[in-house]
Structure 1
């Protein structure tokens, strides 16, 4: 783990984390990475992703796998039975001490448990309450799909990103990572910080509602203005951009690279570097608009050069001179000095393993309060005693609650 000792810009902020799977935990991970105290409240059997793996071959305990380890670092864990009155009472006390509570259950679940935003804010008016759902919460606009369950592929499909991704106009395709979860998570983290900032000024919390489908549309903003300004219904463009050329992926002799030389300046530089200065004066490619209108000819000309060279040769020739990047796989990422100096692959302890494992680092860099991976993901209920003592429970009370199987 990083040696950075700063506790982060969100030091002193307490977040109650009632999330599961990916979207919610990624949101609270972002807050924890920046120094917030995130208390993960799990069911008595634990977050389902603990058992989901993947597990390293030498893990003798298998208490949690890579999925859980990656997005639950820097958090504390307490296990509560929220179906019991005692468990709900504990959660209410936790929320009374918190700046924010975040959940990603289906709409109405928290209300039925007697833990709605309206109920919790009565005792803590400054509380920021955030939810991440497929189609949002009725409090900010009831969708006809409010009650539909949703995961990443549903958000990608209905939010527009699949409809413009794919090898050809007729073949939509899922984006590889779970952007239908992680991007809404980042939006929710931003919303929570904004609401906490306002609560500090006004003493008034609020409800933060993030719809996964809405977020997908927001990051596909281009399709909205293309429809409005051009009257088109965008479809997948393969590895090219519909409005810029060359701006996309080309095949090298040993893999793929990306080139974004759409401006006149970068186009002239690229043509010189590949020994095709004649293309600068070619009327089909002389202007930005002409290159878009004749993108097949542009890609054919550049692609003929790219295809004769390796990714490394192209990196040596083009890197730093035009916008260029080889298409990396994780082994190449792990070997590139950029990711090492930026601490984007970090080691953490893994219970049950003799040596550390690696997880992705923190991409938001701050000079005075740098975020960091300071602690591995917690064991189930690892911090229950500490958390309950901090809100006034005596050791005997904690022991009684554990014996009654209200908590772990």
Structure 2
């Protein structure tokens, strides 16, 4: 019997094929946004200055190939794009860009407010050339077109957005200092939010014939992710504190050390709690703390009991015992991820060939799947100067 994915009638193109994106973005937030468009089939033209995107030199690189200007950082978020090198400080460069704008559905950039305007490439000028154009921008602290703020001229990086948006305050152990999240969520989340906003504007532009300026602030995006601390302060007047891996309203909910690693485990419903206590030989806990509120009030006792059990088993033994019965997972390192068959089956470890070195480069794949469309295909990020 054919699977659903093998049946006839599937589309022959990726969902965004036919959409053209002119991409001026650099670093991480903007390139992550344009990467999503490229992965979904859009024709993304990455516009770089003659010196290239600054992250070309950031690495990591294959040993002995540090001069390729095509390291892991750049490859990861610039795959599936075509390259175009132009000097925006010259009249010819501006003219070449305006020619591209005339063919585009979308323009993306993540400079500080006013930079593109000073180049003579403002949204207003581009819209004069292409009235249906959707112009998307990631700003650290917003664009003055939506109102002035005290931080309009401030530069921003991921750690600043995490700090000011409340994430850093909430991350870490209760008795420790604020910690940033280990990955660049202050860049990646704004990039994903911008992709959603730009697609919404494209839908409307195709109906109305009128383009749009779409902007996402890194700080706004991070604040939206900290929704719990906002409503917690509003409802209860509480300034939430750091809790490490635990949760203020659910128990058990945390990370536990096994004899050879760590597991993450949550059993907050009565069904999951009963399954957990039965499996680990502590049915007495289910009777003593039958409700989530009772477990939350006696969190120290609950956590101590689970920690004591976890220390007696390996991670593999814990997963075999509880997998499928309660929410549980290994706390994976990068090496663990490469060994887990799940990520291979889901197409989430994508192998590219680095054209600079000829060596294999593995990057994280696209998480968005379409049943009726072809699987995503991937090609390497563009080499600097290889105008396509």
Question: Would you say 1:329 and 2:333 are equivalent positions?
Answer: yes
Shift of 1:89: 1.2
Question: Would you say 1:218 and 2:224 are equivalent positions?
Answer: yes
Aligned with residue 96 of structure 2, among 83, 87, 90: 90
Task: Output one character per residue of 1:209-250: Cα deviation in whole Å (capped at 9) or x when no partner.
Answer: 100011111011001111112211012111101111111111
1:112 aligned residue? 118
Task: Output one character per residue of 1:83-126: Cα deviation in whole Å (capped at 9) or x when no partner.
Answer: 11111111111111101100000111011111111111112111
Cα gap change, 1:60 to 1:218, in 2 (>3 Å): closer
Q: How many residues align?
A: 379
What is the 5 A alignment of 1:58-207?
58-59=64-65, 62-207=68-213
Question: Would you say 1:245 and 2:248 are equivalent positions?
Answer: no
CA contact (8 A) 1:22 1:181 kept: yes
| CA distance in 2: counterparts of 1:150 and 1:46, whole angstroms | 20
Shift of 1:5: 11
Aligned with residue 319 of structure 2, among 307, 310, 315: 315
Q: Which of 264-273 and 374-383 deviates more?
A: 374-383
| CA distance in 1: counterparts of 2:310 and 2:98, whole angstroms | 61
Q: Indicate the SS of the match to 2:373.
A: coil
- TM-score, length-normalised on structure 1? 0.90
Q: Could you list the runs of 5+ residues in structure 2 that have no partner in the other structure?
A: 1-9
Task: Output one character per residue of 1:336-366: Cα deviation in whole Å (capped at 9) or x when no partner.
Answer: 1100100111110112334322111111111
What is the 5 A alignment of 1:252-401?
252-282=258-288, 285-370=289-374, 372-384=376-388
| CA distance in 2: counterparts of 1:39 and 1:112, whole angstroms | 22
Question: Would you say 1:45 and 2:51 are equivalent positions?
Answer: yes
| CA distance in 1: counterparts of 2:264 and 2:340, whole angstroms | 17
CA contact (8 A) 2:11 2:374 kept: no
Q: Could you list the runs of 5+ residues in structure 1 that have no partner in the other structure?
A: 385-408
Q: Indicate the SS of the match to 1:130.
A: strand
Aligned with residue 20 of structure 1, among 8, 23, 26: 26
Shift of 1:141: 2.6
